[in-house]
Structure 1
Amino acid sequence: MHPVPGGDKRPMTKLKLPDVVRACLFDLDGVLTRTAVVHAAAWKETFDAFLRRRDGDGFRPFDSAHDYDEYVDGLPRADGVRSFLASRGIELPEGAEDDPPEKDTVHGLGNRKNALVLEKIREQGVAVYPGSVRFVEAVRAAGLRTAVVSSSANCRDVLIAAGIEHLFEVRIDGVVAAERELPGKPHPDTFLEAARELRVGAGEAAVFEDALAGMEAGRAGGFGHVVGVDRVGQAEGLRKHGADIVVGDLAELLEGDAA
């Protein structure tokens, strides 16, 4: 347990975390912000348009639940394209990173998806999970270090739009990963980099993820605590892929919290 220090008369908020934890490493989409549904919708629009061009009106659509969770959630954009296409036995040229969105290459499809995500965020804004914000604030009040770890190249823009950028000391996102040549989830490298920047060992850090790939990264990195956040009814899958504990919302890790 980690009591919040302070001399006021309010009841102390305790964190339901192992005492060994000195830092908390948070995924963005689906853990802190409600953008996972935006990403799923953008992937569906991108892949369905491609499959319709390829296979005609009888194409098998992208499943926003199963296909998203199994093949693209938590992965760097190009890896998500490759992973889903491989599940359908489809190969495309890699193309170049600056391929236009209408080009049928791995990077072209990825850029189309990204353009759709940005469009949807501009139109709809970014909503946070209030329980997650309360938890991160309590983590900081308890003196623990914080980082956000995301495969998204738009991570900083999303944090700013959501009004929560100030809650994190370190940001390791798709831009930073590319600059430092860090492989994305399910590899643990981005989480390990965040722990390194916070000057804590992996065994002293907790990982908070909603994606199966994120669970695998937490397990592979030897982190002290791996928390699965189940927003879509995949608790068993999160456990199988490496979660030490699964919660429906991070507020469940605040003792005495009232939603």
Structure 2
Amino acid sequence: MLGLPDHVEACLFDLDGVLTNTATVHAAAWKEMFDDFLENWASRSGEPFVPFDLGRDYAEYVDGLPRADGVRAFLDSRHIRIPAGTPDDPPSALTVNALGTRKNLLVQKRIAKDGVEVYQGSVTYLQELVDRNLPRAVVSSSANAAEVLRVTGLDKLIDTVVDGQTAAREKLAGKPAPDTFLAGARLLGVAAGQAAVFEDALAGVQAGQAGEFGFVVGVNRLDSEHADGLRAHGADTVVSDLADLLAPSGPGSGQA
């Protein structure tokens, strides 16, 4: 009924793009921050201004990664080198951490203004897990995960959270390393092989594969190319919506 193998005893969910539509909010914030930076960089360096590409740069370099890692990966792709700085850098500083802080401020501003959309199919699936007493955790790179869960009411359907703040505090490597998912499994009291990972990001399904989790569900909200990428990076199955897993014929009926 849940579209999962029998050995799965707990579920670990990414937040953005899996439970909520905040992935589009994050993508827009990344573009706004990077385009502003790139314009200023072009004017100083004399190099042409090439905007951040939502269709390519977001998925390839920043989606699912901790903020600083995403900033660093994208800048590396443009052969731009700036100091790493520290998390305490003001957003106006010219450092990797400062750019990450700018992006986070833009996300918070957009969430406060527009709210957060929840995928109804994900709510249905979470409620089914609650009814069947399967433990549930959110594992997100976002430092705002707990607030998003509270605002949307999803916190009532989740047992525990591992987020960007947890990773920083416990010095956990971000996705595609499996560390944060492994921490989520520990909090739920299960081994990795007994847990299913639900991810929409390439780095996230890669983390599920690297951690040898019992099942990795890729959630494709984009297109067939992204679905193929999810499979190539470690997804055991790919669905367009979590409710597809509840179909009588299992996840195959909803594969993207």
For residues 37-80 of structure 1, give each alpha carbon's deviation from its aligned partner in whole angstroms, at most 9, with x where no partner exists: 00000000010001100113941100112100000000000000
C-alpha deviations, 1:182-236, integer Å up to 9, x for none? Answer: 1110000100011111111111100000000001100000000000000111100
Q: Which of 124, 129, 142 pairs up with 2:132?
A: 142
1:197 partner amino acid:
L
Determine the C-alpha separation between the residues in 2 that align with 1:105 and 1:43.
15
* 2-structure distance, mates of 1:18, 1:89: 44
Structure 2: which 5+ residue stretches go unaligned? 251-256
Q: 1:38 aligns with which of 2, 25, 34?
A: 25
Which among 6, 12, 17 is matched to residue 25 of structure 1? 12
1:181 equivalent to 2:168? Answer no
Gaps of 5+ in 1: 1-13
The aligned counterpart of 2:235 is: 243
How far off is 1:127 after superposition? Answer: 1.0
Higher helix share goes to which structure? 2
Count of aligned positions: 244
Runs of 4+ in structure 1 off by over 2 angstroms are none
Partners of 1:145 and 1:36 in 2: how far apart?
24
* Root-mean-square deviation (Å): 1.2
Partner residue of 1:76? 66
Q: Displacement, 1:163? A: 1.1
Displacement after TM superposition at 1:255 (Å): 2.5
Mapped partners of 2:135, 2:162: distance in 1:
14
2:208 to 210, 213, 218: 218
> What's the TM-score once normalised by structure 2's chain length?
0.93
Q: Give 1:122's aligned residue.
A: 112
Counterpart selection for 2:244 from 248, 252, 255: 252
SS in 2 for 1:15: coil
The aligned amino acid for 2:70 is G
Once the two structures are overlaid, the 10-residue window that deviates more, 214-223 or 97-106, is 97-106
Distance 2:157 2:131 in 1: 11
Identity of aligned residues (%): 59
- What is the deviation of 1:138? 0.4
Instruction: Say if 1:76 and 1:151, in contact at 8 Å, map to a contact too.
Output: yes
